[in-house]
Amino acid sequence: MFLSDLSIKRPVLATMMIMALVVLGLFSYRRLGIDQFPDVEFPFLVIQTRYIGASPESVEREVTKKIEEQVNTVEGLKQIQSTSTEGFSTIIVQFNLGTKIMNAQADVRAKIDAIRQDLPKDIDPPVISRANPSDQPIFVLSVRGQGWALRDLTRLADEVVSRRIENISGVGSVTRARRVTSRRAAWSRATPRTWCASPASCAIRKTSRGSSSRRGTGSPSG
């Protein structure tokens, strides 16, 4: 009733108030910040472990499964997904919304440290990183050569291609991975930061028979 009475009794004042609101809205709209990847905490952690020379089955049995069983007790856990390939284990841990990801990362690191002696001695230390879409690779480069031995392709990717990419200004790191299909190839991955943290970019999936992937079941939050 107040607005209607004011508009009838004092139409000029009501018009000025409406115009002021319109101008304020236009001014605020022009200054509204837009970010494709806003600064928010994504409730995901990625655990990456290298086990050079191990088959996908060995990686699954000796690394992936043991880490999953240990991490499954972390508070706030919603779901676990894992991918085991030749010499590489990737585990994606999803937490409930509202979970403090920094605390969750510390808990996961403590859980893995507790079973470090039960893991194979010749694996690289597991790398635990927070998932962030801005950390996905800039590009993926495939090196192929008909009639080339895999050893020669790997040497070319490591000693020539990767080093030249690393010297480019703005490149944070280059991650190399071998992929064996009907044709032999050596891959180089360039990322804007160290390692890779995006779930879509971290899982190195192989199209040959040498891969193992499964979806873990979530546990109720504590």
Q: Are residues 125 and 58 in the same domain?
A: yes
Confidence check: pLDDT of 55 > 60: yes
CA distance 87 to 62: 11
Instruction: Kindly state the tokens that stand for 199.
Output: 């779930």
Q: Are residues 127 and 65 in the same domain?
A: yes
Q: Which helix (H) or strand (E) holds 158?
A: none
Q: Are residues 127 and 145 in the same domain?
A: no
Cβ–Cβ under 8 Å, residues 106 and 75: no
Q: Are residues 46 and 122 in the same domain?
A: yes
Confidence check: pLDDT of 68 > 90: yes
**92-133 pLDDT, tens per residue?**
999 998 888 889 999 999 999 999 999 998 899 999 988 766
How many structural domains are present in the chain?
3
Confidence check: pLDDT of 180 > 80: no
CA distance 66 to 166: 35
Q: Which long-range contacts (CB under 8 A, 24 or more apart) does 165-168 make?
A: 165/141, 165/190
- Closest-CA residue to 211 (of 96, 64, 100): 64
Q: Which helix (H) or strand (E) holds 50?
A: strand 44-50
Q: Are residues 203 and 113 in the same domain?
A: yes
Q: Are residues 59 and 144 in the same domain?
A: no
Q: What is the CATH number of the domain that holds 50?
A: 3.30.70.1430
List beta partners, residue 183: none
Instruction: Answer with the residue of higher pLDDT: 135 or 107.
Output: 107
Q: Are residues 120 and 204 in the same domain?
A: yes
Q: Are residues 114 and 203 in the same domain?
A: yes
Structural domain for 222, as ranges: 41-132+199-222
Q: Are residues 99 and 163 in the same domain?
A: no
Confidence check: pLDDT of 21 > 80: yes
The residue-averaged pLDDT of 153-161 equals: 83
Write down the pLDDT at residue 169: 81
Write down the pLDDT at residue 30: 82
Cα angle for residues 97, 102, 105 (degrees, 5° grid): 95
State how far the alpha carbon of 78 is from the alpha carbons of 84, 95, 137, 218, in Å: 20, 5, 26, 5
Q: Are residues 148 and 71 in the same domain?
A: no
Write down the pLDDT at residue 135: 61
What integer best gives the mean pLDDT of the chain?
76
Instruction: Answer with the residue of higher pLDDT: 220 or 111.
Output: 111
Write down the pLDDT at residue 182: 37
CA distance 85 to 66: 16
Q: Are residues 51 and 100 in the same domain?
A: yes
pLDDT band at 199 (very low <50, low <70, confident <90, very high): very low
Query: Among 39-48, 61-70, 81-90, which stretch is predicted with the lowest mean pLDDT?
Result: 39-48
